[in-house]
Amino acid sequence: MTLACRDCGTLQDFRSLPAGSVASCAACGNTLSRSTGRSIGAGFALSLSVLCLYIVALSLPFLRASVLGLEQETRIGSIVPLLLDTRWVLVALGIGAFIVVFPVVRFALLTLVLGTLLGERRPEWLGRAFRWATSLDLWSMPDVLLIGFFVGYTRVAQRLTAEIGTGGWCFLAAAGLAMVAHATIDRQMVWNAIAPNRPSPRGEKVIACTTCDLAVPKSAEGDPCPRCGARLYARKPDSLTRTTALIVAGLVLYPIANIWPMSVVTRLGESEGRTILYGVTELVKEGMWPLAAIIFCTSIAIPLLKLLAIGWFLLATRFGWRRGLSVRTKLHRLIDGVGRWSNVDIMIIAVFAPLMQFGAIATVHFGIGAACFFAVVILTMLASLSFDTRLMWDAVEQRR
């Protein structure tokens, strides 16, 4: 069979993979395929459990707190109506999608696809359904919410009694299982089960599907992929222009997100804005170093490094730099995966702002900084998605 590397574009032929082996790209070291013997049945069981637990978690009380006799109870999506009241409509829709809609849709599709494969059926929509499930992987964030919940709860529990409700416990179980499911379900294995990788036709130019990595003849460019239905391109269209626009927008918003307050705390009529850096220094003062390190890395370091790194990739492509080609490719793979973790700080506010609504005594709201920061995270995620690393390899090739 022919496997195409999605990172550097190199095509490689393999006879067959012995059980327990990994096929790596000879040019950039990317993992092309695994035959780990992980079963579709285990993936199906995990995915179904996550789906059921998550739906229960959404419908039951998540957290309870009381201040001076006032009780407050929240659910996972409670932040959405709260934000809609304060005009942050886009942020409300974004967070609602990331923590409510996308996780449910993703695990419903995954359960459907794996269940259908277990039943030995291969209906026509199967590839499309799995394509949607894999695209939503990046944007459904129960695991990020879990870390945000952990950091926020450690802080809040010092000041007031917060009690985890039944929904909260179901959420913890679902988010934990979702991480296990992520590690268990091997995409290439599922793609192979939907339609196996084939040997490429001899003597014909071949391109790879950017979604499912299927190698197809170059003459099929512009058509939908026979396996996943995504449109086939030799390289992502307008990649450099799109990525540049997204990075410039991100660089403009990044300082604003750091200067303006993430949250506004009102206590007994007095309002105080809290920036990201303020949150980190508070954690350091209280001796919570590990939590301070998590917030510093996810909120300040990762977004900045991402913006700078993708800027470097763009320049390297523009000028055909050869140095660091392999490092750049590996770095892109890394930042593509860690970018979503920058949402931890947003998730802390999303979980605890609805809990801290005690009228005149104390309230917590989103600040302008949070909206800018949320935009920066989404822009950098989109930039990393729209950048085609193979263009860096093409640029070097053309300079030869």
Can you tell me whether residue 4 is helix, strand or coil? Answer: strand
273 DSSP assignment: E
- Cβ atoms within 10 Å of 204's Cβ, excluding its own: 10
Can you tell me whether residue 207 is helix, strand or coil? Answer: strand
Rounded Cα distance, 200 and 264, in Å: 58
Can you tell me whether residue 130 is helix, strand or coil? Answer: helix
294 belongs to the binding site for Zn ion (CB under 5 A): no
53 belongs to the binding site for Zn ion (CB under 5 A): no
- Using the contact rule CB under 5 A, the part of the chain among 146-154, 173-181, 214-222, 336-344 near Zn ion is 214-222
- Using the contact rule CB under 5 A, the part of the chain among 20-28, 61-69, 134-142, 343-351 near Zn ion is 20-28
Min dist CB 134 to Zn ion, Å, is 10
Residue whose tokens read 């970018």: 339
4 belongs to the binding site for Zn ion (CB under 5 A): no
Strand partners, 67: 70
376 belongs to the binding site for Zn ion (CB under 5 A): no
**321: which 2 tokens?**
């730099």
At position 346, the amino acid (one-letter code) is I
**46 or 216: CB nearest Zn ion:** 216
Min dist CB 10 to Zn ion, Å, is 5
228 belongs to the binding site for Zn ion (CB under 5 A): yes
**213 or 345: CB nearest Zn ion:** 213
- Using the contact rule CB under 5 A, the part of the chain among 50-58, 76-84, 112-120, 217-225 near Zn ion is 217-225
Rounded Cα distance, 162 and 262, in Å: 22
Position among 227, 274, 306, 332 found at the interface with Zn ion (CB under 5 A): 227
211 belongs to the binding site for Zn ion (CB under 5 A): yes
Can you tell me whether residue 361 is helix, strand or coil? Answer: coil
Min dist CB 107 to Zn ion, Å, is 22
**23 or 101: CB nearest Zn ion:** 23
Interacting residues of 19 by C-beta distance below 8 A, sequence separation 6+: 35, 37
Min dist CB 176 to Zn ion, Å, is 31
Strand partners, 207: 216
Min dist CB 231 to Zn ion, Å, is 9
Residues numbered 57-86 forming contacts with Zn ion, rule: CB under 5 A: none
Position among 3, 28, 99, 174 found at the interface with Zn ion (CB under 5 A): 28
Distance of CA 224 to the CA centre of its chain: 25
Min dist CB 211 to Zn ion, Å, is 5
Strand partners, 164: 63
209 belongs to the binding site for Zn ion (CB under 5 A): yes
Position among 185, 194, 212, 356 found at the interface with Zn ion (CB under 5 A): 212
Position among 3, 4, 8, 104 found at the interface with Zn ion (CB under 5 A): 8
Min dist CB 81 to Zn ion, Å, is 39
133 belongs to the binding site for Zn ion (CB under 5 A): no
Q: How many residues bind Zn ion (CB under 5 A)?
A: 15
Position among 30, 78, 380, 384 found at the interface with Zn ion (CB under 5 A): 30
**263 or 389: CB nearest Zn ion:** 389
Nearest to 41, CA basis, from 136, 171, 181: 181
H helix runs in 119-224, sequence order? 126-139, 142-159, 166-184, 187-194
Exposure class string for 129-168: b at 16+ Cβ within 10 A, else e: bbbbbbbbebbbbbbbbbbbbbbbbebbeeeeebeebebb
Question: Which spans of this chain sit near Zn ion (rule: CB under 5 A)?
Answer: 5, 7-8, 10, 25, 27-28, 30, 209, 211-212, 214, 225, 227-228
